[in-house]
Structure 1
Amino acid sequence: MAVHAARASAPARPGDEFELVYIDSAGVRQRGPLSLCWSVPFERAGAVRQFTSRRGQRSFSGLWFFATSGEHVGYESWLERDRLMLLDADPDVLTVSSQPFWLCWQDKDERPVRHAPDYFVRRRDGTAVVIDVRADDRIGPKDAAKFAATARACEAVGWGFERVGALDAVFAANLRWLSGYRHRRYHQRVHADQLRRVFARPVPLMEGASAVGDPLGVLPVLFHMLWLRELQADLRSAALSETSLVRVAGGLR
């Protein structure tokens, strides 16, 4: 490939020790040095690994409807699904791809190593974050080495890197509930405008919903606005309930 010729004749650049293997937006397998490939829109890349499902496997794979971009994104465990859910609820995130590339390098003994990060995240400001999802108690020495190398690769080209584990149980449960109302079909402008007026000051959830109209019709709009962070409640300390205080604006975090 031309990219290899350019690499051979050019001086070393940050990231030259790493190569990427990826599936481009046209479905074609590509390979090249990270230093030349970093600008590829990996948020549109195809998954480089197949999501498997077999009897007796420890984790569960599936597809998450990512409401922010209107696309389905793959996951290979409940931890990954919950992380996708959190990313979907983050207003700073534009789109996410799963298993976006193989990152290839040589270890200290010059043996080939490769690693496929779990997610590539494109934020609304144009920056990128690579995410690996692994529970804290399931990181062995080889995993730690791969995560450290991935962090170095990301730093070399200006990407962020995060190794994340399980979400807080209460927060995750609240987000799972709200995620059921993440689809745009739950937006109703009239109810939304009324809810913003009612919750201009902190008001208990059900009291505010009832002030707008029949809770059966109002609550889905309210939950959608909480998901979008147009309304705010404490989602970390206790389960969301009819007495939870809700107010306009702020964030879920």
Structure 2
Amino acid sequence: MSKYETLRKTAGDGYDRIQWFDKKRATHTIRANDPVTALSVMPGERTRKPGKWVGQKPYHGHYWCAGSRSSVFHESMAEYAGMMLIDHLYDIVRVDAQPMLMTFADGTFHYPDYLAVEASGTRHLVDIHPKALMKEGNELTFANTARVCEVIGWRYTLIDQLSDIVRMNLEMMGRYRHHRYTPTPDVEKHILRQAKKNETFDTLRRALVTNKPGELMPFVFHLMWRRELTFDLTRRFTEHTPLTAA
């Protein structure tokens, strides 16, 4: 078993603080008390690197983020699914895994799972922690994290539950999230125009039939991933699922 490589916490001194590594693993620290100072947070290395051991249950790996066009570390399949949800729902241009150490005024601390930067410039801190794994103190940690994010003007999302249906819908679309499936402007207009005339997936599929079976279907799923075509993510996807063109 290997030891954790971690940015070590500092003693609580009555202030909320954020620490992170730059690309050269130099440590930076700020007081988390205003949005302007928080703009300087730019992680370059993970602040917490979990070891591996024989018989471990969490599956480590990398998720390819369509928004940032980069591979992002995940410590478990719950993190993989949560990252896929964030990638789908928001226009991400950058994302860092285990980006910082937050030390709160009360002396407790937390290593958030992801820091995403949206196209609008909004910083978005994400934690993924299934309810079944909640332990004493977790609720306070996440409440402190949400409070600090509100102070510094960041969005905060805690994903504590994803249904199998949501996960399957994400994986269905996610196969086509890569930009290689981006339709040309003319094809996109054609698909969206037909979607406004054909309200369900099946009727749209039929309306898009060409002399090459399934030719336009990858583009349809890509537009669903990009939310140009939307549906109820919480319901099982079938041929009768209503699709709405943006």
Is TM (by shorter chain) over 0.5?
Answer: yes
Give the C-alpha shift of residue 131 in structure 1: 1.9
2:20–2:41 CA contact under 8 A, matched in 1: no
2:68–2:92 CA contact under 8 A, matched in 1: no
Runs ≥4 residues deviating over 6 A: none
Deviations 1:150-189 (Å, cap 9, x if unpaired)?
2232233222333221212212211111001000101121
- 1:224 aligned partner: 222
- 2:201 aligned partner: 205
- Indicate yes or no: 2:84 matched with 1:77: no
RMSD: 2.4
Residue identity (%): 25
Give the C-alpha shift of residue 38 in structure 1: 1.5
- 2:171 aligned partner: 176
Give the secondary-structure state (helix, strand or coil) at the position aligned to 2:157. strand
Q: Which of structures 1 and 2 has the larger relative contact order (alpha carbons within 8 angstroms, sep 6+)?
A: 2
1:241 alignment partner AA: T
1:133–1:163 CA contact under 8 A, matched in 2: yes
1:123 alignment partner AA: E
Q: Could you state the TM-score of these two structures normalised by the residue count of structure 2?
A: 0.82
CA distance in 1, matches of 2:161, 2:202: 30
2:60–2:76 CA contact under 8 A, matched in 1: yes
Give the C-alpha shift of residue 137 in structure 1: 2.8
1:149 alignment partner AA: N
2:19–2:102 CA contact under 8 A, matched in 1: yes
Give the C-alpha shift of residue 195 in structure 1: 1.1
Give the secondary-structure state (helix, strand or coil) at the position aligned to 2:49. coil
Give the C-alpha shift of residue 16 in structure 1: 6.8
2:202–2:240 CA contact under 8 A, matched in 1: yes
CA distance in 1, matches of 2:54, 2:188: 45
Where structure 2 has 5 or more consecutive residues not aligned to the other structure, the ranges are 1-12
CA distance in 2, matches of 1:210, 1:79: 36
CA distance in 1, matches of 2:160, 2:180: 31
Q: Could you state the TM-score of these two structures normalised by the residue count of structure 1?
A: 0.80
Deviations 1:68-110 (Å, cap 9, x if unpaired)?
1111111111221111101111244333221111112464xxx
1:143 alignment partner AA: N
Say if 1:90 and 1:26 are closer, same or farther in 2 by CA, change over 3 A. farther
Give the C-alpha shift of residue 27 in structure 1: 4.2
- Indicate yes or no: 2:60 matched with 1:61: yes
- Indicate yes or no: 2:27 matched with 1:45: no
1:203–1:247 CA contact under 8 A, matched in 2: yes
- Indicate yes or no: 2:190 matched with 1:191: no
Say if 1:232 and 1:113 are closer, same or farther in 2 by CA, change over 3 A. closer
CA distance in 2, matches of 1:187, 1:155: 36
